[in-house]
Structure 1
Amino acid sequence: MHQVRLLPHDITFTADGQQTVLEAALNSGIAFPNRCQVGACAMCMCRKQTGEISYQLEPMLTEKEQAEGWIFACQAVAESDLVLELD
């Protein structure tokens, strides 16, 4: 189990490594922005401040977006505790 902290609201929830960050947030009753849940709409994009994630399928992110820490929460699985920032 990993702790995920959402800024700027300072909301914390747990993710078990078997579900995506988005699924973990929604299962915890957190209103996380999303629409398609398959990485096409970009509604769930957030910036990873700290921690490690993995993807089953790499999302369509530019090199610049990846360097800036952007992730698709609907595709990302927590591999450690995370701090994420919603814009």
Structure 2
Amino acid sequence: MSETETKHQIHLLPHDLVFIASEQETILEAALNAGVAFPNRCQVGACAMCMCQKVSGEISYQLEPMLTEKEQAQGWVFTCQAVAQSDVVLQLD
């Protein structure tokens, strides 16, 4: 890990869990690395198990996930593909 690597705090609601994600890993990878029991199966954006809603913060994708415009407008995020660009708050139901 480089000393210039940027890290962001990820706050997971309603469980009130907090973990740190670098810009070198997906939010799902960061959660699993932190021991968070985050639902997932395929880890490539196909199964939608890791989908949750972004409450606040900025994310980016290396490959845009298969989300409709309506889902994107509602804040849905594929955490297996999303990389935090700021501190992020997510709602996982």
Shorter chain as normaliser: what TM range?
A: over 0.9
TM-score of the superposed pair, with normalisation by structure 2: 0.93
Alignment length (residue pairs): 87
Answer yes or no: is 1:28 the counterpart of 2:29. Answer: no
| Shift of residue 72, structure 1, vs aligned partner | 0.0
| Poorly superposed stretches of 4+, deviation over 6 Å | none
Matched, 1:74 2:87: no
Unaligned runs of 5+ in 2: 1-6
> CA–CA distance in 2 between the matches of 1:16 and 1:56?
14
Matching of residues 1-87 of structure 1 within 5 Å = 1-87=7-93
Question: What code does the residue aligned with 1:32 have?
Answer: F
Q: Which has the larger radius of gyration?
A: 2
How far apart are the structure 2 equivalents of 1:29 and 1:56?
24
Q: Structure 1: which 5+ runs fail to align?
A: none
Q: What RMSD, in angstroms, separates the aligned Cα atoms of the two structures? A: 0.3
**How does the TM-score come out when normalised to structure 1?**
0.99
